[in-house]
Structure 1
Amino acid sequence: MSKTIFITGTSSGFGKLTAVTLANAGHSVIAGMRNTKDKNTAAAKELTAIDNIEVVDIDITDDQSVSNAVEKMLNKYAKIDVLINNVAVSGFGLLEGYSIDQVRRMFDVNVYSVLRMYQAVLPSMRKEKNGLIINITTGASAHTLPFMIPYIASKLVVESFTEGLQDELKDYGIENVSIQPGVYPTEMNNGSKAGIHADKTKIIEEYGEAASEKFNALGTALFGKMAEFEMNPQTIADGILELVSMKKGDRPLRFPLDAIAQGTDKEFIEARAAIKAKWLAAYSN
């Protein structure tokens, strides 16, 4: 059955691939992106030319822009069946090297935008007593790596949203799933899309070469694994289509798609769920 699906961050990467994949599968896709009349004009035109895709201009860091875009689409389509919170920005560097303002910028894109989108679509989903919200987090959302602390922290918050809202929204028939991708060759990772990096140069200089060498070694290892496992971003788009196509009630809370992890991510998810069940049992007695 065709669904109306709103995706954020569709100018490139996972978002763009997902919009095309879902539209080709017969779904009505609302492709959200900012600057449709400026730097993203080409991307907007490319997606608009595809059957079943409507591009909407939305700045996910602006409350009014989010509210206006969602209201406009609800007026046209009457409902939004699926929301995919895809938009995000990466960032690297020493935690001490980040200014508070820089971390705040990171969280505005990766955390508060997700909350804005939830609050914009939930009233209509609750009215329909139906909905699916898919959040793109990270393959490292079960733990934290050095030199990526603000970024991973932001994704851990989204994991928390997903898990907590699964219970809060259960009575309204709204399901929540987090997709946990590993390292993929998208614009976020190849340097063509600006990230939000550590900006306190004096602090960074004080750490010296040792920190730089550790950071470079981590990056080399991650990108080496990406090449070794031939990570294809289409895997994420196909995974999202699989989730959308699943029967309601069969969808998992977490959906890892990280070949590099070689199954360890799934093991961690299962162990985490088992421990949580024990914790809940202990507190309910």
Structure 2
Amino acid sequence: MTGKDIVLITGANQGIGFEAVKALIASSVSYHVLLCGRSLERAKEAVESLQSAYPDSDSTIEALQVDITDDDSISNLFSQVQSSYGKIDVLINNAGASFDHEVAAGNLTIREAWNKAYDVNVSGTQVMTHTFMPLLIKSSNPRLLFVTSGLSSLSRASDPDSPRYTVPPAGWPKPPGPSFIAYRSSKTALNMLMLDWARILKNDGVKVWCISPGFLATNLGENREMLKKLGAGEPSIGGEFIRDVVQGKQDEHVGKVVSSFGDGLQPW
């Protein structure tokens, strides 16, 4: 046992996950962060980078491997964490993926892209959460975070005044557009998953949220530089917001989709 709160975060060797680990170890609170990635080598490289950048941090970081689309991988990680620590205090389901661009490029069929999006963003996240719940509820202050998307909002998707609500001309085929529909649908499903966990864990003292980090320049299925040109912010914004939720700054919004933009709440 480390004596520090143990934070497990998936998909953390790059992007928003990496920035969340950075924000946590740079804070004045001490954590033991389990930085998980599909590649153990890349997870270790991320840990080395953070340790070099923050040599005086009281927090510690450990690289672990998990592929949330692989049940055996999740089970192996559970066995490691259970054996080493016996509990976790925070589970951040950050791992996610978008495959819509692969359909446009001709690399995947529509069915393949949708199945892959749901496998990572919904099914894999559900298995990961279910598997680790026995360790999370052992914490004295358990927190469960799901990283969703601003594109998951049904209210915004149905709002004619939203910049995402564009109507193509009549006829077929329709011109390609930035709909990201498989990704968006899977993240909307993730919001429902969060609501169910909030219900299930209501009497266990687990605080549950979806995190909407905002329009940020990550490598999630697109060119990062192109996203910057479109006005995307730095991934560090999302990382710092996740840290704030871990540290209690959104406790009044448990069971909601909390956002780093606007009034702090994303409409359903």
TM-score when scaled to structure 1?
A: 0.71
**Using a 3 Å threshold, how does the CA distance of structure 1 residues 224 and 250 change in structure 2: closer, same or farther?**
same
1:47 CA displacement: 4.5
Q: Which of 237, 240, 243 matches 1:241?
A: 243
Is 1:131 aligned with 2:131? no
1:64 aligns to what?
72
Q: Which of 53, 71, 77 matches 2:85?
A: 77
Looking at structure 2, the residues matched to 249 and 239 of structure 1 have their Cα atoms a distance apart, in angstroms, of 13
Looking at structure 1, the residues matched to 220 and 9 of structure 2 have their Cα atoms a distance apart, in angstroms, of 17
2:175 aligns to what?
none
Is 1:12 aligned with 2:7? no
1:148 aligns to what?
180
Q: Which of 17, 31, 36 matches 1:32?
A: 36
> Max radius of gyration: which structure?
1
1:116 aligns to what?
127
1:250 CA displacement: 3.3
RMSD (Å), alpha carbons: 3.0
1:226 aligns to what?
231
1:65 CA displacement: 0.6
| 2:33 aligned counterpart, secondary structure | strand
Looking at structure 2, the residues matched to 189 and 182 of structure 1 have their Cα atoms a distance apart, in angstroms, of 16
Pairs aligned (count): 233
Trace 1:168-207 onto structure 2 (pairs within 5 A). Answer: 168-188=200-220, 190-191=222-223
Unaligned runs of 5+ in 2: 158-163, 165-177
**Using a 3 Å threshold, how does the CA distance of structure 1 residues 123 and 257 change in structure 2: closer, same or farther?**
same
| Ranges of 4+ aligned residues in structure 1 off by more than 6 Å | none
**Comparing 46-55 and 135-144, the one that deviates more:** 46-55
Among all aligned residue pairs of Structure 1 and Structure 2, give the percentage whose two residues are the same amino acid.
25
Q: Which of 158, 162, 167 matches 2:190?
A: 158
**Using a 3 Å threshold, how does the CA distance of structure 1 residues 29 and 127 change in structure 2: closer, same or farther?**
closer
Letter in 2 for 1:256: S
Unaligned runs of 5+ in 1: 193-219, 273-285
**Using a 3 Å threshold, how does the CA distance of structure 1 residues 61 and 157 change in structure 2: closer, same or farther?**
same
1:40 CA displacement: 5.7
| 1:250 aligned counterpart, secondary structure | helix
Is 1:105 aligned with 2:116? yes
Letter in 1 for 2:15: G
